[in-house]
Amino acid sequence: MRSSCKLTAAFALLIPLTGASCSSKHESFPAQPVAGELTVEQANVLAQLYLDQHAVTLPRAVTGEQQQPDGWWIYYQTAFDATARPPTKAYLVQVHNDGTVRQLE
Distance of alpha carbon 61 from the chain centroid: 27
Q: Is the pLDDT of residue 1 over 60?
A: no
Give the list of residues 6+ apart from residue 63 with CB closer than 8 angstroms, or none. Answer: 75, 76, 77, 90
Give the list of residues 6+ apart from residue 52 with CB closer than 8 angstroms, or none. Answer: none
On whether the pTM is more than 0.85, the answer is: no
- Radius of gyration of the chain, Cα coordinates, nearest whole angstrom: 32
95 exposure class (CB count in 10 Å sphere: 0-12, 13-18, 19+): buried
Residue 33 confidence (pLDDT): 80
Averaged pLDDT, 56-61: 88
Cα dihedral 52→56→62→66 (10° resolution):
-80
Average pLDDT, the chain: 85
